[in-house]
């Protein structure tokens, strides 16, 4: 009886490992290939390689020297960090209001937040292009950041609201007795406890900002505002050597992967906080 059960566990493990490993291989295949290619000299690109044979780190130096990679990186950092900062501040305030107060349009506002998640960028970009031209915001960093904030904002609000709901309000009541304002209580008491949720919100909005493609492509025109996404896709279109494109791509995917690895213990639970309601 016992042995039968043990066999069953082993069979169970084998099936599960098989499923997981097949996916891991598929998940990492493009990144692994990109990495090998980024280290291959141009003349050797036709060779078949399953593991890195050459270590042409100079590809990285060349792509940075020969293309405006630093400019692209700078613009991407501005978009991603700008998006995260605005998103965090706006969603903390909104989530606090939704969690701690009772007011008239609360349900309507919650529904609005859920609904804006499905408004696609491609639908908004046409009128936004006209609007940014008529308001003089065309070709500025801020218009891209604001547009990305709108795309990023729903999930952090729902997530932070859920987290604030789980914090008892007795601490704030004590603070209020001491003459602390609501905003003061939010900053001094609630935020320090909410670090996991704030970290998740930061990571999520950073990913959205780093992913920006359509908005920087349409809403800006000067070279300094070209992001990594737009810059690399143009490099691909003008037939740049694949080893350079792959070096650039590896540089481009390091920031989100690093942030993911740092924030990941909070992320998995956090992402879906809003959707089980």
Partner 1 sequence: MNLKRKRKALPYIFLVPAIVIIIMIFAIPLFNLLWYSFAKVDLIGNFNSWAGFNNYKYLVTETFTKTLGRTMIWVVCGIAGIFLVGTILALALNKPIPGRGFFRTVVIIPWVIPHVFAGTMWSWVLNSTNGIVNTLLLDLGLIKEPISFLGAELALATVIFIRIWKGVPFLVMSLLSALQTIPAEVEEAAKLDGALGWKYFWHITLPLLRPVMVMSGTILMAWSFTIFDLVYVITGGGPLNATELLSITIYKKAFINGDMGGASAIAIFTMLFVSVIAFFLMKRNSKEAD
Residues 244-273 within binding reach of partner 1 (CB under 8 A): 245-246, 249, 252-253, 256-257, 259-261, 264, 267-269, 271-272
CA dist 187 and 86 (Å) reads: 16
CA dist 62 and 244 (Å) reads: 8
Nearer to partner 1, 197 or 259 (CB): 259
DSSP per-residue codes, 71-114: HHHHHHHHHHHHHHHHHHHHHHHHHHHHHH---TTHHHHHHHHH
| Least Å from the CB of residue 212 to partner 1 | 8
| Least Å from the CB of residue 178 to partner 1 | 18
User: Which residues between 176 and 205 bind partner 1 (CB under 8 A)?
Assistant: 182
User: Which residues between 141 and 180 bind partner 1 (CB under 8 A)?
Assistant: 146-147, 149-150, 153, 157
Give yes or no for residue 220 binding partner 1 (CB under 8 A). Answer: no
Q: How many residues bind partner 1 (CB under 8 A)?
A: 91
Q: Is 87 in contact with 149 (CB distance < 8 Å)?
A: yes
Interaction pattern, residues 3-42, with partner 1; x per rule: CB under 8 A: ----------x-xxx-xx--xx-xxxxxx-xx--x-----
Nearer to partner 1, 32 or 62 (CB): 32
Nearer to partner 1, 174 or 257 (CB): 257
CA torsion sign for 52, 58, 59, 61 is: positive
């Amino acid at each position: 009886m016992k042995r039968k059960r043990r066999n069953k566990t082993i069979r169970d493990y084998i099936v599960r490992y098989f499923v997981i490993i097949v996916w891991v291989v598929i998940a990492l295949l493009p990144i692994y290939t990109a990495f090998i290619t980024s280290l291959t000299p141009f003349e050797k690109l036709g060779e078949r390689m399953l593991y890195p044979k050459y270590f042409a780190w100079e590809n990285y130096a060349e792509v940075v020297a020969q293309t405006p990679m630093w400019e692209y990186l700078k613009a991407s950092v501005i978009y991603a960090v700008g998006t995260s900062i605005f998103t965090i501040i706006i969603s903390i305030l909104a989530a606090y209001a939704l969690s701690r107060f009772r007011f008239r349009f609360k349900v309507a506002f919650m529904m609005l937040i859920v609904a804006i998640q499905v408004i696609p960028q491609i639908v908004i970009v046409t009128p936004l292009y006209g609007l940014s031209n008529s308001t003089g915001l065309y070709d500025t960093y801020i218009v891209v950041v604001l547009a990305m904030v709108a795309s990023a904002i729903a999930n952090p609000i729902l997530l932070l609201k859920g987290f604030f709901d789980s914090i008892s309000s007795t601490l704030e009541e004590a603070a209020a007795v001491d003459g602390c304002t609501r905003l003061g209580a939010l900053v001094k008491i609630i935020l320090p406890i909410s670090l996991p949720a704030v970290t998740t919100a930061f990571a999520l909005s950073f990913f959205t900002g780093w992913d920006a493609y359509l908005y920087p492509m349409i809403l800006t025109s000067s070279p300094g505002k070209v992001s990594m996404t737009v810059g690399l896709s143009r490099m691909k279109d003008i037939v740049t050597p694949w080893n350079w494109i792959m070096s650039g791509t590896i540089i481009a995917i390091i920031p989100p992967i690093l942030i993911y690895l740092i924030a990941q213990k909070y992320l998995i639970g956090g992402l879906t906080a809003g959707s089980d309601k």
